[in-house]
Structure 1
Amino acid sequence: MTPKKRIAILGSTGSIGTQALEVIRDHREKLEVSVLVARRSTELLIRQALEFEPQLVVITDETCYEEVRRALSATPIEVQTGSDSILEAVQRPEVDIVLTAMVGFSGLAPTLSAIEAGKTIALSNKETLVVAGELIMSLAKRHGARILPVDSEHSAIYQCLVGEEANPLERILLTASGGPFRTYRTIEELEGVTVEQALAHPNWSMGAKVTIDSASLMNKGLEMIEARWLFDTPAEAIEVIVHPQSIIHSMVEFADGSVKAQLGLPDMRLPISYALGLTERIANDYPRLNFMDYSFTFERPNLELFPNLALAYRALELGGTAPCVLNAANEVAVEAFLSGQLGFRAMSTLIERALEAHRPAPSYDLDLLVELDAEVRQQCRQWLGSRR
């Protein structure tokens, strides 16, 4: 009998984490939870721990530790707190796969720790490769760590490339839904966008940060940078196309002009189960795609209305630490938009200003990235404060 795959879920209470637990719940004969990590959603984390009985639970917000510890005190589950506990947890021998579903820059250090231990990474934290793609991929190669993408687009590209190792890849066609404002035609329309409108994604159910990134097309810019490193493909060979139906999750074109696509209903459980199954397709009873229900259409992204995508290409062109600046400024911009400090279009202005103010370092390590990330966030918040 094949042993169960033992999984550490970083960000278990978020959108990806909860859907991963749905997959595991349905396939307990193949998958089990060894570690759960959450930031501060204590009630949900406690319920998850009681149901899935991991060896370890980590609550990173230290003010929440006592609540979780008391709730689990009658169980054999170990409870820890703090960011350093995550770095140790992902290296434990009882962990086979690390699902990195933490949001933003916070996912970088745990991913590096898991790579150093040679773990298989189910990567949902795209910011990890945006900020440190060259470092991540070189360390993964050195330590024999396997990286399986969980984003629907990158999972699609990965699936299209299986069995094609000897065939030259000419182009990646990275699809985008276009978000809730795809049909907007003027800057004035976007300047009046509300938080509630931006959070209403037409096809996907995601966390707030990713949903706002999708609405601004920054999500597609981050995914483009991620694809550059995952698939060792230059930016000029990665084309973003808007596909409003979100059925074709991405495509690849080969040197002979042939194009392969991966299709399916927009359901994140599919790429999650593909990664957790280590590319084994785990049977399920999810809704199936009926081709008679859809017509496929494609558009070019409007970079004048949605400049974040162009800024991502610019950051990759600048290279070195520029994508770290892009990511840090974007995270501050999204926080400011969600809190009502910044308008929708003004997010791009803040990000562009941060990029223009930075002189990229051509090489970096984790310490430099942590320092730069903090520096850019502080500068962006100062700029925001001066606007009041």
Structure 2
Amino acid sequence: MSEVSNRSVVILGSTGSIGTQGLDVIQRHPERFTVTGLAAGGSHIELLAQQAAAFHVPQVAVFDASKVKDLEEALTQAGAKQTKVSGGPESVIALAGSGADVVLNGITGSIGLEPSIAALQAGSQLALANKESVVAGGHLLFDSQVRAKQINPVDSEHSAIWQSLRSGTHAEVAKLIVTASGGPFRGWKRADMEHITPEQALHHPTWNMGPVVTINSSTLMNKGLEVIEASRLFDIPPERIDVTVHPQSIVHSLVEFVDGATIGQASPPDMRLPIALGLSAPDRMNNVAAACDWTQAATWTFEPLDNEAFPAVQLARHCLAASEKHTAVLNAANEQAVHAFLDHRLPYLGIVDTVKAVLDEMDAELRSNPLFANVEEMNQLELEARRFADELINK
């Protein structure tokens, strides 16, 4: 393993699942990383202040500008009076574009796109866990081959593909195989899902994630978004990306090559492994996560995806083939539907049904002008999609 210099790191979404695990990785390797900035939404002010104090962070930004005073007081209580505080979305974008060696983007939702763009424009390596940047942003994120090389995928599936692709050239890739745990309703038929509650859907059998991602995993919309992300990250057409259900969540995804060889990445489910590689690439670090125990008997199973029970993946494929505006609408309408389900305003099956209805309603408009001119146009289209979704939900 080659020696690497100390890297400056900005973490976006530091109080969430990705952010807290990223800080755990950094804490174990203080000689490799210096945290130069943290950003969070504003729901966990005390935790954000404690993080800033523990890592002696000079700058902290909070999306919710109304929380700046509370954060300043919490920083004083935590012993971090020297930390500079800023508030509002623009402050988060500015922090992302501050020129750190690595920006870990663990923000949930399409609000993560502009910080992703800012990080790339500043020349930072982007350790990307915010899949919505890729799904909603389209060519706004991938506006040059150089910038595509700045992105280190942090989703476990895309990190696995990224690692497996080291085994061959792009021309040698036959297909990508994205694995899915199947979520809490694996094996259920659509007729069994009518009365699923948020409490049931939030009980994921393998991963501990935020509520939106957990619901997306239960509907397999998460897997649909990951097919879109894989296609755009690795420049592979959707018809050459398969999804297989692997309930043990040990094989995190695979690459099949033209000679018939299939290379995959396997490890017990632990997000610290892809986070660490996203921060340290191309080097690997020790003391990150446990490896598989090959002294114990184990069975790994793989099952075909039931598209009738879980239509979200096919819907995502349709959007990917149609236009980048379709994928942005897919993401925005889904976020609205998931929040409505969590608020008990929409039945479980209504999540994907609502998304499809919004896409059907907007299809002609999207096809008439399929590319975004800028981020503002994307934001306006998302607002329109959310309004359509809300109207359908309220009915």
Output the TM-score relative to the length of structure 2: 0.94
The aligned residue for residue 344 of structure 2 is 340
| Residues 117, 143 of structure 1: 8 Å contact kept | no
The gaps in structure 2 that reach 5 residues or longer are none
Is 1:202 the counterpart of 2:202? The answer is no
Is 1:99 the counterpart of 2:104? The answer is yes
2:127 counterpart (118, 122, 135): 122
Q: Could you tell me which amino acid in structure 1 is paired with residue 28 of structure 2?
A: D
CA displacement at 1:142 relative to structure 2: 5.1
CA displacement at 1:308 relative to structure 2: 1.0
The aligned residue for residue 302 of structure 1 is 306
The aligned residue for residue 363 of structure 1 is 371
CA displacement at 1:115 relative to structure 2: 1.3
2:237 counterpart (218, 226, 234): 234
Counterpart-to-counterpart distance in 1, 2:81 and 2:168:
48
Instruction: Classify the secondary structure of the residue corresponding to 1:162.
Output: helix
Instruction: Classify the secondary structure of the residue corresponding to 1:331.
Output: helix
The aligned residue for residue 373 of structure 1 is 382
CA displacement at 1:166 relative to structure 2: 6.2
Superposition pairs for residues 287-326 of structure 1, below 5 Å?
Answer: 287-291=290-294, 292-326=296-330
| Residues 336, 390 of structure 2: 8 Å contact kept | yes
Is 1:136 the counterpart of 2:145? The answer is no
| Residues 267, 290 of structure 2: 8 Å contact kept | no
Bigger drift between 264-273 and 125-134 goes to: 125-134
Counterpart-to-counterpart distance in 1, 2:119 and 2:313:
30
* Structure 1 residues 11 and 166: CA distance shift in structure 2, 3 A: closer
RMSD between superposed Cα atoms in Å: 1.5
CA displacement at 1:144 relative to structure 2: 7.5
* Structure 1 residues 149 and 166: CA distance shift in structure 2, 3 A: closer
CA displacement at 1:149 relative to structure 2: 0.1
Bigger drift between 265-274 and 110-119 goes to: 110-119
Q: Could you tell me which amino acid in structure 1 is paired with residue 370 of structure 2?
A: P
CA displacement at 1:100 relative to structure 2: 0.8
| Residues 115, 145 of structure 1: 8 Å contact kept | no
Instruction: Classify the secondary structure of the residue corresponding to 2:256.
Output: strand
The aligned residue for residue 32 of structure 1 is 34
Instruction: Classify the secondary structure of the residue corresponding to 2:306.
Output: coil
The aligned residue for residue 79 of structure 1 is 85
Q: How many residues align?
A: 383
| Residues 62, 92 of structure 2: 8 Å contact kept | no
Q: Could you tell me which amino acid in structure 2 is paired with residue 362 of structure 1?
A: P
The aligned residue for residue 22 of structure 1 is 24
User: Percent of pairs identical after alignment?
Assistant: 40
Q: Could you tell me which amino acid in structure 2 is paired with residue 55 of structure 1?
A: P
Counterpart-to-counterpart distance in 1, 2:319 and 2:147:
28
Is 1:264 the counterpart of 2:263? The answer is no
The aligned residue for residue 192 of structure 1 is 195
The aligned residue for residue 88 of structure 1 is 94
Bigger drift between 283-292 and 151-160 goes to: 283-292
The aligned residue for residue 4 of structure 1 is 6
The aligned residue for residue 111 of structure 1 is 116
Q: Could you tell me which amino acid in structure 1 is paired with residue 93 of structure 2?
A: L
Counterpart-to-counterpart distance in 1, 2:31 and 2:258:
42
Bigger drift between 200-209 and 129-138 goes to: 129-138
Q: Could you tell me which amino acid in structure 2 is paired with residue 83 of structure 1?
A: P
Counterpart-to-counterpart distance in 1, 2:236 and 2:149:
20
Instruction: Report Cα offsets for 1:156-209 as digits up to 9, x if no partner.
Output: 000001152365111001100000000213x23211111111111111111111
Instruction: Report Cα offsets for 1:123-142 as digits up to 9, x if no partner.
Output: 00001101123331224x35
Is 1:279 the counterpart of 2:287? The answer is no
Instruction: Report Cα offsets for 1:38-59 as digits up to 9, x if no partner.
Output: 1011011111111111120001
| Residues 66, 87 of structure 2: 8 Å contact kept | no
Is 1:222 the counterpart of 2:228? The answer is no
CA displacement at 1:367 relative to structure 2: 1.5
CA displacement at 1:378 relative to structure 2: 1.4
| Residues 225, 312 of structure 1: 8 Å contact kept | yes
| Residues 118, 145 of structure 1: 8 Å contact kept | no
The aligned residue for residue 54 of structure 1 is 57
Counterpart-to-counterpart distance in 2, 1:275 and 1:21:
13
Output the TM-score relative to the length of structure 1: 0.95
The gaps in structure 1 that reach 5 residues or longer are none
Counterpart-to-counterpart distance in 2, 1:129 and 1:369:
12
